[in-house]
């Protein structure tokens, strides 16, 4: 059902983009809009992962610098039946994580140092399983396409308003709907595109929660992690995310300040709904106890190989 809904929403977003092109320049404008969409999505397809990782200063890690994290991702990748993605760590106090890449063969997963310091090994496993579910379901490509379309619609709508203003009194020039139509397009179209983009994002988050819970084998690990991540994200600002709000939908929890409701303007489902669904899944699997791990990595006591993660010490915690 979520796949069908995602397909319908993507179709709606594409139709909206073409409609704005028609409003700007008639049939010719619609064809130009189509060509622009193909070009922009082609660029995003090949370059979006590197761009996002660079935005957040993500650094690649391996078995030497972060053996615990890399081992978790390797084990979960095998369980999910996908190639091992590249693993990155972001030196960021806000606990969060995301996945990116055009397909499972060219994917990357990234976790912040704040997440690695805050969560237990089991909770980290739940989070990484969620991100690998995004990779397995090709959500990273879907969200890249929707973000590209949403941005292009806003650009076209603004151009349409300016183009409409050139329409003369004889009705010559400008786009078919004139200045008023241009204003309507500039206001309504970006809003509609944003709503569709956010609806797709929420749909894919629910699906990744469910698939991730199955990959790691225990929905409660992810449920507990989500609760703790939301609390951390609400109290610790993420300056890079504030500078690039269009990337907020990539993260496992919203890195921006916002309300807790599952509403039209939210990039993520309400946390209570996500956790409730995971706990219901755990109950259906016969898991009714709290499995939060007892051992937590401590940023005040970095490990050097004997702790749950291993690896050389770093400025914040044991992950390298």
Catalytic sites, residue numbers: 131
286 with 43: CB under 8 angstroms? no
C-alpha 283/C-alpha 57 separation (Å) is 39
C-alpha 320/C-alpha 317 separation (Å) is 8
C-alpha 260/C-alpha 279 separation (Å) is 19
- Determine whether 289 is exposed, middle or buried from the number of CB atoms within 10 Å of its CB (0-12, 13-18, 19+): exposed
DSSP 219-243: HHHHHHHHHHHHHHHHHS--HHHHH
Angle at 309 between CA 52 and CA 74, to 5 degrees: 60
What are the residues whose beta carbons fall under 8 Å from the beta carbon of 215, sequence distance 6 or more? Answer: 76, 79, 80, 129, 132, 133, 136
What are the residues whose beta carbons fall under 8 Å from the beta carbon of 184, sequence distance 6 or more? Answer: 177
C-alpha 134/C-alpha 251 separation (Å) is 11
Phi, psi of 155 (to 5 degrees): -65, -45
Give CA 30 to chain center in angstroms: 29
Tell how strand 86-90 and strand 107-112 pair up.
parallel
């Amino acid at each position: 059902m979520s796949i069908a809904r995602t397909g319908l929403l993507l179709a709606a977003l594409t139709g909206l983009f073409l409609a704005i092109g028609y409003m700007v320049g008639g049939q010719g404008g619609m064809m130009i809009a189509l060509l622009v969409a193909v070009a922009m999505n082609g660029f995003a397809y090949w370059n979006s992962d590197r761009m996002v990782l660079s935005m957040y200063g993500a650094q690649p890690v391996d078995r030497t610098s972060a053996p615990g994290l890399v081992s978790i991702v390797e084990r979960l990748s095998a369980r999910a039946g996908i190639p091992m993605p590249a693993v990155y760590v972001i030196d960021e106090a806000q606990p969060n994580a995301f996945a990116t890449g055009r397909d499972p063969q060219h994917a990357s997963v990234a976790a912040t140092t704040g997440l690695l310091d805050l969560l237990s090994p089991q909770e980290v496993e739940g989070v990484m399983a969620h991100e690998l579910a995004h990779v397995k379901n090709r959500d990273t490509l879907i969200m890249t396409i929707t973000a590209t379309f949403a941005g292009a619609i806003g650009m076209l709508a603004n151009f349409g308003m300016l183009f409409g203003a050139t329409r003369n009194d004889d009705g010559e020039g400008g786009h078919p709907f004139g200045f008023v139509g241009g204003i309507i397009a500039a206001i309504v179209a970006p809003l509609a595109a944003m709503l569709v983009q956010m609806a797709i994002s929420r749909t894919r988050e629910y699906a990744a929660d469910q698939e991730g819970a199955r990959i790691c084998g225990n929905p409660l690990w992810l449920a507990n992690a989500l609760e703790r991540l939301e609390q951390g994200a609400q109290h610790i600002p993420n300056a890079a995310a504030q500078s690039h709000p269009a990337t907020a939908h990539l993260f496992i929890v919203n890195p921006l300040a916002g309300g807790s409701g599952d509403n039209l303007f939210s990039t993520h489902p309400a946390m209570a709904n996500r956790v409730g669904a995971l706990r219901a899944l755990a109950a259906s699997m016969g898991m009714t106890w709290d499995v939060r791990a007892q051992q937590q990595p401590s940023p005040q006591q970095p490990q050097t190989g004997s702790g749950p993660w291993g690896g050389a010490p770093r400025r914040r915690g044991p992950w390298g």
